[in-house]
Amino acid sequence: MTDADLGRPSVVLTGRFEKDHERRYAHVPFEVPSRLRQLHLRYSYSDQIHSDPTITGGNTLDIGLFDERGTAEGSPGFRGWSGSNKMELTIDEVWATPPYRRGKIGAGTWNVLLGPYKVGPRGCDWKVEIWFDPGLRSPWKMTGGIARRVDPDPFPDARPGWLRGDLHCHSLYSDGDAWPPEVLGAAAEAGLDFLGVTDHNNVAHQLAYGPGGDGLPLVVPGIEVTTYGGHWNAWGTDRWWEFREPEAKAVERAMRTAAESGAVVSICHPKPFGPPWEYDVPPVHGIEVWNSDWVKLNSVSLAFWRECLRRGRRVAALGGSDTHYLHRRDPDPRHSQRLGTPTTWLRADRAVESILTSLREGRAFVSESARGPQLYLDRDPARTGWIAVEVRDGAGATLQLVGPEGTIAAAAVDAAAWDRTFAVPAHAPYVVAQLVSPTGELRAIANPIWAEQL
């Protein structure tokens, strides 16, 4: 539908953000009359640039929407947030632009949520146009289907009781380019047993994925809570968590509340351009030490996690591909182009609650892919103070055992099936196992065994 077909907007909102308002959300109210069936919003702003944190000098303005039920933390009035990814959106009684929620258009005060992520030197002038009942039909039709292929090259067997998965991915319900069923089908092709679905500041995608299973990966419902000082994932939750307050205390409070509610909470990609994590580390279950391909600055995330261990924090190393695009030919180089890169392996049953429990307890290792090396680290049942290491499909790599003061031991992995036992120094509070390639890249990392477990 063209501008002429839309006619004049029913409401026009305008304003300006200066530099001192950067990374602080604003709620802009407008009145909605009764008996409406549809709202259409379009926004624009000056000196527009991409949200990529490496691009500066202009403006990036995020948008979201609350209905008449209010803007309070956890409010059912939250209709969705799309960052700067979509410049127009429609809310209808029976359909909505992903990731926004369809449903009744209640009369009363609604609020446009505006977040000036970047404000350039000339300030940010913005305009929001709103049409009441423009009569738009849904342009959103799912393309593609759910793949159930039999791979001609079967994936290597894992130990009994271990599952492969990807904990971090995106769809059209945030800034990805594929529908959830397409993403789930691609995860099946990648050999995954479970998929953590984590669109930005939204949970509407969870219903679109369904539960998985029946030959497809199990769906672990989640959300990537996207704040202006860092991102965090929460799995096992069906609600949105506060993302608007940039202050450290507010972010930490939201993470604690999510964990206390039963969600598994993990810090995402604490590395340059991740974006990095700018807050302290509240009690969390995990840290994403490996996001996308290893060479994409993940050594910084690994160092972040190791410092937490040195401080005595019992926090698991996790991984996620952060895959956004299945169709684009020019995807964002920060993100993996394939689900399962890397793969998080969990000792768990094929049930969502068992997967969540394993994440909480750190019964996991991370490998470069679903075909990558498998690295199992256990206490040696025959000898106190010793550990047992098993490596599958890691020939040519070097096994390193690492404690708080550095490398404890190292050995060349010279066979496809390889195992060894090692004595742990009495003074070491924990030991981590990792596989490193001849060029120094990490190929797999196992979570620590702590001294009292030996």
**pLDDT (average), residues 369-388:** 96
Domain assignment of residue 97, yes or no: yes
> Pick from 426, 448, 316: which is nearest to 379 by CA?
448
Residues paired with residue 31 on neighbouring β-strands, in sequence order: 109
**pLDDT (average), residues 74-86:** 96
**pLDDT (average), residues 119-129:** 98
pLDDT confidence bin for 1, thresholds 50/70/90: very low
d(CA 452, CA 454): 5
Helix (H) or strand (E) holding 205: helix 205-209
Is there a single domain that holds both residue 96 and residue 222?
Answer: no
14, with CB counted inside 10 A (0-12, 13-18, 19+), is exposed
If one counts every other C-beta atom within 10 angstroms of the C-beta of residue 410, the result is 12
Structure tokens at 156: 């290597």
Is there a single domain that holds both residue 86 and residue 44?
Answer: yes
Domain assignment of residue 267, yes or no: yes
Q: For residue 93, what are the CA distances in angstroms to 156, 160, 335?
A: 48, 48, 35
Is there a single domain that holds both residue 9 and residue 93?
Answer: yes
Helix (H) or strand (E) holding 182: helix 180-189
Residues paired with residue 433 on neighbouring β-strands, in sequence order: 401, 446
pLDDT at 454: 85
> How would you list the strands of the sheet with 386-392, edge to edge?
374-379, 386-392, 417-423
Domain total for the chain? Answer: 2
123 against 147, higher pLDDT: 123
> Pick from 353, 321, 350, 342: which is nearest to 446 by CA?
342
Mean pLDDT, the chain, whole residue set: 94
Cis geometry, peptide bond prior to residue 99 (ω within 30 degrees of 0): yes
Domain assignment of residue 406, yes or no: no
pLDDT at 150: 52
Is there a single domain that holds both residue 106 and residue 251?
Answer: no
The answer to whether residues 387 and 421 touch, using CB atoms and an 8 Å cutoff, is yes
pLDDT confidence bin for 145, thresholds 50/70/90: low
CATH for 25: 2.60.120.380
CATH for 335: 3.20.20.140
Residue 363 sits at the vertex; the CA angle it makes with 302 and 404, to the nearest 5 degrees, is 40
DSSP letter (8 states) at residue 19 = G
Q: What is the pLDDT of residues 205-259, one digit of tens each?
A: 999 999 999 889 999 999 999 999 999 999 999 999 999 998 999 999 999 999 9
pLDDT at 154: 85
Residue percentage of the chain with pLDDT more than 70: 96
**pLDDT (average), residues 350-357:** 98
Domain assignment of residue 171, yes or no: yes
CB-based burial, 223-262: b 16+ in 10 Å, e otherwise: bbbbbbbbbbbbbbbeebbbbbbbeeebbbebbeebbeee
Examine the fold and report which residue of 372, 393, 426 is the final residue of a domain before the chain moves on. 372
Domain assignment of residue 444, yes or no: no
Strands 216-227 and 406-412: unpaired
Q: Which domain holds residue 70?
A: 3-132
Q: What is the pLDDT of residues 280-297, one digit of tens each?
A: 999 999 999 999 999 999
Give the number of C-alpha atoms closer than 13 A to the C-alpha of residue 73, restricted to the C-beta side. Answer: 12
Is there a single domain that holds both residue 249 and residue 341?
Answer: yes
If one counts every other C-beta atom within 10 angstroms of the C-beta of residue 418, the result is 19
Is there a single domain that holds both residue 82 and residue 195?
Answer: no
The answer to whether residues 319 and 342 touch, using CB atoms and an 8 Å cutoff, is yes
d(CA 165, CA 318): 11
Q: DSSP letters along 112-171, please?
A: EEEEEEE--TT-EEEEEEEEES--PPP-----S-------SSPPPPPPTTEEEEE--B--
Q: DSSP letters along 68-129, please?
A: TT--STT-TTEEEEEETS-SEEEEESS-BSTTSPP----SEEEEEEEEEEE--TT-EEEEEE
Q: Which of 194-198, 306-310, 336-340, 428-432 is predicted least confidently?
A: 336-340
Domain assignment of residue 386, yes or no: no
Domain assignment of residue 388, yes or no: no
Cα four-point dihedral sign 101, 107, 109, 112: positive
Examine the fold and report which residue of 343, 372, 401 is the final residue of a domain before the chain moves on. 372
Is there a single domain that holds both residue 263 and residue 365?
Answer: yes
**pLDDT (average), residues 334-357:** 94
Q: For residue 453, what are the CA distances in angstroms to 138, 172, 377, 418, 442?
A: 57, 44, 12, 23, 26
Under 8 Å CB-to-CB from 437, ≥6 apart: which residues?
396, 397, 443
Is there a single domain that holds both residue 257 and residue 350?
Answer: yes
Is there a single domain that holds both residue 115 and residue 188?
Answer: no
> Pick from 63, 61, 62, 56: which is nearest to 121 by CA?
56
Is there a single domain that holds both residue 214 and residue 358?
Answer: yes
Under 8 Å CB-to-CB from 362, ≥6 apart: which residues?
285, 286, 314, 315, 316, 317, 447, 448
Examine the fold and report which residue of 338, 355, 372 is the final residue of a domain before the chain moves on. 372
Is there a single domain that holds both residue 206 and residue 103?
Answer: no
> Pick from 260, 278, 261, 256: which is nearest to 269 by CA?
278
pLDDT confidence bin for 22, thresholds 50/70/90: very high
pTM of the predicted model as reported, rounded to 2 decimal places: 0.94
Q: Would residue 299 be called left, alpha or beta, if left means φ above 0 and alpha means ψ between -120 and 50 degrees?
A: alpha
Is there a single domain that holds both residue 210 and residue 333?
Answer: yes
Domain assignment of residue 441, yes or no: no
> Pick from 379, 384, 377: which is nearest to 400 by CA?
377
- 3-state DSSP of 250-283: HHHHHHHHHHHCCCEEEECCCCCCCCCCCCCCCC
Structure tokens at 318: 């996790």
